[in-house]
Amino acid sequence: MKKFLTMVFVLSILSNNILSQVNPDMEKVKSIIKDVKEKFAPDKRVAVFNIEAEQPEKKIIIKGETNLPEAKNFLIKTLDAEAIKYEDKIELLPSKHLGDKIYGVINLSVSNIRTNPDHPAELSTQSLLGTPIKILKKGQWGFYLVQTPDGYISWLDDDGFQLMNETELNEWKASEKIIYINEFGWAYENADVKSQHISDLVAGNLLKLLSEQKDFYQVEFPDKRIAYILKSESEKFNKWYERLNPTGESILETAYRFMGVPYLWGGTSAKGMDCSGFTKTVYFLNGIILPRDASQQVHTGELVETNNGWENLQAGDLLFFGSKANGEKKERITHVAIYIGDGDFIHASGRVRINSFNKAKPYYSEYRDNAFIRAKRILSSVGKNGIERILDNEFYK
């Protein structure tokens, strides 16, 4: 028994010696991974950086996935500079299992994109027909991890888009298109409004133009379905885009078109919108791409001085609401609206509606007044400060 206890004691010392040699490196590796993530991927909504270290034996294994080659390269260089011995098992996305089908185009009037690869999962965002997307990997139940032009990364089922390789995507992007400009409508089987519906449509949908037939455009969906759309409800995309000259007045004109549309968490279309989905859609229909969420939109544009109230605000400015930093609590942006004038603003809250900072107005909102954080001017920042025109975005080029 004494001999056995002595052996256990010796093994314990050897084990502790091994751990004392390896654990410092392991902790250093974890710290480096954390620092790299904070540097390159602080917002998981727009970047994948799921990297971890494990140590099954003496060797440290770095594993996981990221869609940021620059982040992986920086991580590897940092580990090498520290003379840390490790095995690299990091997968760069898009996944090699996708082959050359690493692109797609939204194939429904509105596709639902979720936080997890399952239909009951929370609605994260939506994307409109004709929108190019990047495919990062395939998950379960026919879902794919995708990235939209605003950078958002979430899960979309394969009924919502058409898989494409680079050649197919470039053909789609180079083709002449029409944009649907009515709030709601239909694509028909024939050039006749009494013919069978092929699909419903919402404002902002893009389709490939094949021909013109009297009152209709003949169009093609990303999956090659052929349909007809009324000319009175749509326009050739290039003509529409070239005449755009976004102003505060045009932003409000677009915003008013959605009055009464119900609030929908994750919604970005005329079928239902959340607060940032509303602002994003309004600006998109004026040729401008905004980030997806209010907490992202607040970091764009030009700051407007509001210490003395709303006197410096202009029509079209974005107003941000939430809770201010207080002690250990960080600032939290939870809502966004579009400024109208005279203290009034339009936003998606229950439904798209108008409220006011002006206490003399019957639709004054004390709750929003107290929750106001800051305002940003978007129209003075097109092409800078995080604001892009549609055709300047890498997904549409």
User: Which residues share a beta bridge with 132?
Assistant: 105
What is the widest separation between alpha-carbon atoms in the chain? 101
Catalytic residue among 97, 119, 197, 275: 275
User: Which residues share a beta bridge with 125?
Assistant: 113
**Backbone phi, psi, residue 275, to 5°:** -60, -45
- Mapping DSSP to helix (H, G, I), strand (E, B) and coil, where does residue 196 land? coil
Q: Which of 194, 216, 212, 221 is nearest to 105 (CA)?
A: 221
Catalytic residue among 119, 197, 299, 347: 347
Dihedral sign from CA coordinates of 299, 300, 303, 309: negative
Amino acid at 339: Y
213 near 226, Cβ under 8 Å? no
d(CA 33, CA 124): 27
Catalytic residue among 119, 197, 299, 335: 335
102 near 76, Cβ under 8 Å? no
d(CA 96, CA 65): 12
197 catalytically annotated: no
Counting Cα atoms < 13 Å in the Cβ hemisphere of 193 gives 8
C-alpha distances (whole Å) from 126 to each of 85, 108, 270 are 44, 11, 11
Q: Parallel, antiparallel, or unpaired: how do β-strands 60-66 and 86-92 relate?
A: parallel
d(CA 189, CA 134): 30
Report residue 14 as tokens. Answer: 């050897």
- Mapping DSSP to helix (H, G, I), strand (E, B) and coil, where does residue 312 land? coil
Report residue 67 as tokens. Answer: 């869609």
Q: Which of 104, 97, 95 is nearest to 169 (CA)?
A: 104
Hey, how many other C-beta atoms are within 10 angstroms of the C-beta on 194?
A: 6
Query: Which residues are identified as catalytic?
Result: 275, 335, 347
